Structure 1
């Protein structure tokens, strides 16, 4: 079988396409024949590590997310999994095997059934490979607040207003789709008219171009009575902390999931946050509580069955496709900030 590996940290050039023996699943594992591999920022950040030239042993197969078919199971895993279409998440977290391979090994706890549904522009393997990190992260952002629901679905966010910054990004798109499915009023910020169209296609009720409009003024205009939002899903806390606090209603949660500043500190407006009893919450999908992740996986399955989730430009998430021999180019595209979802087709 063919796999993409790297044996040292560095840029996309360290990725190599190699021939490997088909692995046998160990206890608690399944072997998945991969149809799609999703590429996320965490993939290139892991590949770069703490600097170039550091040895990686054993060779690492990148790719946390993917979709495919279970073709073998290890000890302790029911045989009924064989032949099931699945989506995969956290395949390579502290493990050698990622999804940039024709076949890969995944703990059975990190696969979930992929419904066999059809729809306009709906490819289940595209959707499955796009779920993982972005949608699990978005689910956590929308359910972590003190008075919020633990599950998402129709009516669970009714009467609440959610502000999603960076609505044209992968997590932003996921947050918009999930919040809209849950009947929230969704406001999002973008940086261009093109991205505004994508955010609207995802389901945002109101789109604010922060380069042309005052975000706080627009939020106050949109929210009844000039109030604030109940949840802020924040992509850039280093830049937006003050704006997020000014947009938030009393008791709101400001939930951030990104650190594009590379470890930079965040200046939180303490007095304003105290007056409004704001909650500042940080999210990393790999280390979030297992129960929260299980609820997210359950809800995403329900949303797919309901036809509430989709990918592609018609849902605000353009797809960029690469072959297995182009994984380096796929990583480079994500690292350059490609708008949409980068997929590797197998």
Structure 2
């Protein structure tokens, strides 16, 4: 099969190679997927660059998320069938060196979910890290119906899904953004209130919207960078769900303030979450997809041989949505 890979970490043009590799076979409990699309997320680029962690395997095929068609079943697989359209997550994670920047991937059946016929493969490849993370941030502690949720970075890959899922879950949703264009994206996702944090007072707008009560839950793209503002708008007995903290990776956390207002911190990375929670996310996302038309933001598409350019597009930092590698071209 054709694939992109790296054998040392570093800049994408320096370390990524493209060529032929052996096609994997589905082992017991696994399915093999003929990949149509691969999602490139910041974590994939971070692992390749070496900024996340040291090289874990002698050779790595990057990218965790993907979508395609099941073309081989391993022994014991009963939930999926050959020819079925699917999306998948945690491809290059949890002991698997070979991810989705390839024509094929073999992985455990429980990481693979049916993809509706009306959702494109490119859109399906955005459902892994972005959509699964947003679901776990929102619903990891139970229902949110009737609650007020604030999504920081409401036009981002995770944030845009978080706005849509929170509305579907019955919450009132506030989204923060950094530009007028991103504000329009958050409104398209059905945010009830959109605040441009560069030009507006996030705390004042949020407290007015909640009648001075504050928000019940924050889905936070930058915990360390936002903490000073975030703590001013939290309600009593609320939760901050943290999936990134690039603005300040080692923030000072005023624990006494959190204690006195019973503010809980839920920190998460998708590969470390318990399987029952991930299974619940997959099931709920399937229901959400079936319940109406959804917005899947695709920031750009590249051929498999252009995986280097796809990683550079993610690292540029101005994408709106998920960068996709088209594995079949």
| Interval containing the TM-score (normalised by the shorter chain) | over 0.9
Deviation at 1:302, TM superposition (A): 0.7
Q: Residues 69 and 86 of structure 1 are in contact (CA less than 8 Å); yes or no, is this contact kept in structure 2?
A: yes
Specify the SS of the correspondent of 1:81. coil
Aligned pairs, how many?
Answer: 324
Give the structure 1 partner of residue 47 of structure 2.
46
Give the structure 1 partner of residue 140 of structure 2.
144
Are residue 22 (structure 1) and residue 2 (structure 2) matched? no
Are residue 190 (structure 1) and residue 170 (structure 2) matched? no
Deviation at 1:9, TM superposition (A): 1.0
Give the structure 2 partner of residue 273 of structure 1.
258
Gaps in structure 2 of 5+ consecutive residues: none
- 1:1-346 residue pairs with structure 2 within 5 A? 1-13=1-13, 14-49=15-50, 57-78=57-78, 81-93=81-93, 94-117=95-118, 123-145=119-141, 148-149=142-143, 157-223=144-210, 225-261=211-247, 264-311=249-296, 317-337=297-317, 338-345=319-326, 346=328
Q: Distance in 2 between matches of 1:230 and 1:12?
A: 40
Q: 1:256 to 1:79 in 2, by over 3 A?
A: closer
Q: Which moved more, 1:299-308 or 1:43-52?
A: 43-52
Deviation at 1:55, TM superposition (A): 6.5
Q: Distance in 1 between matches of 2:184 and 2:285?
A: 24
Q: Distance in 1 between matches of 2:205 and 2:323?
A: 32
Q: Alpha carbon RMSD of aligned pairs, Å? A: 1.9
Q: Distance in 2 between matches of 1:193 and 1:80?
A: 43
Q: Residues 43 and 52 of structure 2 are in contact (CA less than 8 Å); yes or no, is this contact kept in structure 1?
A: no
Moved over 4 A (4+): 54-57
Q: Which moved more, 1:264-273 or 1:89-98?
A: 264-273
Q: Distance in 2 between matches of 1:55 and 1:293?
A: 26
Gaps in structure 1 of 5+ consecutive residues: 118-122, 150-156, 312-316
Q: Distance in 1 between matches of 2:24 and 2:287?
A: 32
TM-score calculated relative to the size of structure 1: 0.89
Q: Residues 97 and 106 of structure 1 are in contact (CA less than 8 Å); yes or no, is this contact kept in structure 2?
A: no
Specify the SS of the correspondent of 2:125. helix
Deviation at 1:271, TM superposition (A): 3.6
Deviation by residue 1:218-269 (Cα, 9 ceiling, x = unmatched): 001111x22101101111111111211111111010111103147x212223
Q: Which moved more, 1:124-133 or 1:19-28?
A: 19-28
Specify the SS of the correspondent of 2:312. helix
Specify the SS of the correspondent of 1:24. coil
Deviation at 1:46, TM superposition (A): 1.1
Q: Distance in 2 between matches of 1:43 and 1:31?
A: 21
Specify the SS of the correspondent of 1:3. strand
Q: Which moved more, 1:77-86 or 1:8-17?
A: 77-86
TM-score calculated relative to the size of structure 2: 0.93
Specify the SS of the correspondent of 2:59. strand
Q: Residues 298 and 324 of structure 2 are in contact (CA less than 8 Å); yes or no, is this contact kept in structure 1?
A: no
Q: Distance in 1 between matches of 2:105 and 2:84?
A: 15
